[in-house]
Amino acid sequence: MKEYFEKDLYEILGITYEADIAKIKSAYRKKARVCHPDVNNNTPESIREFKEITEAYEFLIDENKRKRYDEIRGFSRKRAENSQAKRAQAKQAYSKTTNESPKTEQPRKTPPKEEKQSFSNVFNSILDGLFPEDDGHEKKKNCKPSNGRDINLNVSIKIEEAISGTHRTINVLHTEMCPKCEGRRFINGSKCPMCKGTGEISIHKKLNVKIPANIKNGSKIRIANEGNKGCHGGKNGDLYLKIEVEEHSFLKIDGLNTCCEVPITPYEAALGANIDVPTLTGHVSMKIPAGTTSGQKFRLSGEGIEEKGKRGDQIVTVRIEMPKDISNEEKELYEKLKNLSNRNIRENLKNG
């Protein structure tokens, strides 16, 4: 409390000590609009200055605090002296213009005390551009509607889910106007305790979202009105989900076709076989003809990706793979095969 009596609160607001309540309000309103941190990029200097004029206003608008302040600072004595001097001048001027003796001045009736109003209500009205009317009722100004911002999130799905469609539970962090300060950031000259001076609060929300079948990597899904909330009647923003299709450990995508590489044994390549091959819709049986070579490609019709009524194929490349560890019986069989074979498969190689 002591520091208030050391400051000239009237000078801070740019008024004289004789100012009435209406002038104090008017001076504060003008200063608040110019010095408010929101219009000064929230610089430390603007915050300090705004807090100072707010404290001066709050002090002087309180009748008891102002009376005590004026007594300590000597403004009450000066006001009384000025009042007496003005009355003396008025009597002298009256005596010169009439022969009648001036009537004894009747004591003025003490005006009714102005109804007290909480500073927070007055401050909110100031920021809305209006002060309370003379009858003590507040008149709130209609704020300009402000639309909420859109929210963008990435969602990862597997290739199988992209083909067949799926559902995802999405955690969305919304922001909306702080209900305590109504987005103004400050209350009584200090940062709002609820939003910490940001003017917004965060709210978590879970949404169950359907992801349609045959969706492509990089596609976006729009969910209307699930973005950040609008202010003062403005529209809510939208939620945009960007789909990221994860790479498959086995299948690769080539347009509408899927591609894979499958290992086969030497005897399957030589004698032929039926093998199981994974696809997007499950395992299917594929025939390996006798005499198949490593790197040979086979086509599984209709096992690719479907789009606009068309469906691709799955291209299977086989690779002859030799087991790392073979038994003694297998070695004996390979020896017999070596002795039986008289072909030179490298006869066409040319010397460098």
Average pLDDT over every residue of 210-219: 89
Query: What pLDDT, on a 0 to 100 scale, did the predictor assign at position 119?
Result: 45
The whole-angstrom separation of Cα 106 and Cα 89 is 17
pLDDT(198) > 70: yes
Q: What is the mean pLDDT of the segment spanning 82-108?
A: 59
Q: What is the DSSP string of 101-123?
A: PPPPPPPPPPPPPPPP--HHHHH
Going along the chain from its start, the domains and CATH numbers come out as 2-97+116-127 (1.10.287.110), 151-245 (2.60.260.20), 252-340 (2.60.260.20)
> Amino acid identity, residue 35?
C
As a whole number, the mean pLDDT across the chain is 80
Which phi and psi angles does 21 have, rounded to 5°?
-60, -40
Instruction: For residue 275, name the pLDDT band (cuts at 50, 70, 90).
Output: very high
Q: What is the pLDDT of residue 153?
A: 94
Of 101-110, 246-255, 322-331, the poorest mean pLDDT is in 101-110
Tell me how far apart the alpha carbons of residues 308 and 216 are, in angstroms, rounded to a whole number.
13
Residue % of the chain over a pLDDT of 70? 79
Residue 276 banded pLDDT, cuts 50, 70, 90: very high
Q: How far apart are CA 38 and CA 36, in angstroms?
A: 5
Taking Cα atoms as reference points, which of 172, 192, 173 lies closest to residue 183?
Answer: 192
Average pLDDT over residues 234-242: 92
Q: What is the pLDDT of residues 11-26, one digit of tens each?
A: 888 898 888 888 898 8
49: Cβ contacts below 8 Å, ≥ 6 apart: 35
Other Cβ atoms less than 10 A from the Cβ of 7: the count is 15
Note whether 259 and 251 are within 8 A (CB): yes
One-letter amino acid of 307 = E
- CA separation for the pair 94, 182 (Å, rounded): 56
Please give the share of the chain, as a percent, with pLDDT higher than 90. Answer: 27
The structure tokens listed for 28 are 């504060």
Predicted TM-score (pTM) above 0.75: no
Tell me the range of 70-74, 220-224, 324-328, 330-334 where mean pLDDT is highest: 220-224
Ranking 85-89, 100-104, 113-117, 164-168 by mean pLDDT, the lowest is 113-117
Q: Is the pLDDT of residue 122 over 50?
A: no
Identify the CA nearest to 226 among candidates 204, 244, 242, 195: 204
